[in-house]
Amino acid sequence: MSSRALTARVLSVMTLPKTQKAMVFSEYGGDLEYRDIPVPTKKANEILINVKYSGVCHSDLYVWKNRTPMTSKLPLVGGHEGAGVVVGMGSNVKNWKIGDKAGVKWLNSTCMTCEHCELGNEPSCLKSEYNGFTRNGSFQQYVAVDAIHAPRLPDNCDLAELAPASCAGVTVYKAIKSANIRAGQWMAITGACGGLGSVAIQYCKAMGYRVVGIDAGEAKANLFKELGGEVFIDFTKSKDLVADVVSATNGGAHGVLSIAATEDAINTSVKYVRSNGTCVIVSVPDGAYCKSDVFNQVVKSISIVGTYVANRAETREAIDFFARGLVKAPIEIVPLSQLLQVYKKIESGEVIGRYVLDTSM
């Protein structure tokens, strides 16, 4: 190590505080406390990230309310969509340096040795650790994450705007790839103007797809057009959503990203997808079932697939669209301490784009 790097490391250790601000809950759906907790220590394979901003994903709300079949640790600091700066490195870490920009994503670590990890299907690893679920996540000022998994963020972008890249961005990028459609074809996006949808529109546009978006209200219709969407359908006003999508796309969407967190939106999508098309299920409404009429599925030869975050290569590719200015998350920044207010807005469907928490407030 050069003497400069050594000085940077020593300085960073010296200046690290012992405690930090975090949003903590101790029971599901219980108080979200804004309080001081210890700064986490890093293991030999981990980097310590000073989180500057964190997006709030709909999944964080599920975790807080315990609306998933998996069980988190308690007490918990949620959050899995952070953006910050590397301030510490474990003794085995070779691929980072102090001052690098790093993200916090859902997967903190995976075993890297099982069949899934070997094949690049890291999200399927059964020995994963998850930020904001089995480990304290990005709703705090410092997070320790596996250096191998941490997403590298570009220097040329605003960190607040980059925060949504590490969950919303990587998830929809992978989902779009799973739809396997071609330039010029139609992608329907349900929940088009929430956190995931608003970046999905831009990825689709950058890849040459035509986008029909389904969401509600004039403000979302306006955002949809600003982001490059072609046809907006307000599901609260449409009398026949299936007919409207089929008509807008002249025969059905070639691909569908089911992002809206309702069972109904998923089940409707299998009716307006085009023959030989693919419905990609991204949302995870609690207790939901995907019901597909078998005759319809067989005769139209449609595929219905699920998709779950992204592997490391897809994460790098997805973030590159942000770095190149092709995708920019529409964000509203609020203090970390206002997490509860953000959850209320997510629950009522009011969120337009992504809320991003500023961890300094």
Nearer to Zn ion, 132 or 255 (CB): 132
**Is residue 231 a contact point for ligand NAD (CB under 6 A)?**
no
Among 53, 235, 321, 343, binds ligand NAD (CB under 6 A): 235
Answer yes or no whether residue 111 interacts with Zn ion by CB under 5 A.
Answer: yes
Inter-axis angle of helices 195-206 and 168-179, nearest 10:
50
* Contact status: 334 vs Zn ion (CB under 5 A): no
Question: Please, what is the minimum distance in Å from the beta carbon of residue 86 to ligand NAD?
Answer: 24
Is 191 near ligand NAD (CB under 6 A)?
yes
Residue 284 binds which entry of Zn ion, ligand NAD, none, CB below 5-8 Å type-dependent: ligand NAD
Here's the x/- map for ligand NAD, 286-315, by CB under 6 A: it reads as: ---------------------xxx------
Sign of CA dihedral 222, 224, 225, 227: positive
54 in contact with ligand NAD (CB under 6 A): no
The string of DSSP letters for 68-82 reads SSS---SSB-----E
Two tokens, residue 245: 């999508």
Query: For the sheet containing 186-190, what is the strand order?
Result: 231-234, 210-215, 186-190, 253-258, 273-281, 303-306
* Residues whose CB is less than 8 angstroms from the CB of residue 11 and which lie 6 or more positions away in sequence, other chains included: none
Which of Zn ion, ligand NAD, none does 194 bind, CB closer than 5 to 8 A by kind?
A: ligand NAD
> What residue has token string 């108080």?
31
Supply the minimum distance, in Å, between the C-beta of residue 176 and ligand NAD: 13
Instruction: Give the residue with the Cβ less far from ligand NAD, 254 or 354.
Output: 354
User: Which of Zn ion, ligand NAD, none lies near 117, with the C-beta cut-off 5 to 8 A by kind?
Assistant: Zn ion
349 binds ligand NAD (CB under 6 A): yes
Q: Which long-range contacts (CB under 8 A, 24 or more apart) does 312-315 make?
A: 312/120, 312/122, 312/148, 312/149, 313/120, 314/170, 314/173, 314/174, 314/177, 315/105, 315/151, 315/166, 315/170
- Non-local (6+) Cβ contacts of 94 within 8 A are none
Q: Does 117 bind Zn ion (CB under 5 A)?
A: yes
Is residue 209 part of the contact set for ligand NAD (CB under 6 A)? no
Helices 339-347, 58-65: axis angle to 10 degrees equals 100
Which chain residues interact with ligand NAD by CB under 6 A?
Answer: 57-59, 62, 167, 171, 190-191, 193-197, 214-216, 235, 259-262, 264-265, 282-284, 307-309, 346, 349, 351
Residues that bind Zn ion (CB under 5 A): 57, 59, 110-111, 114, 117, 125, 167
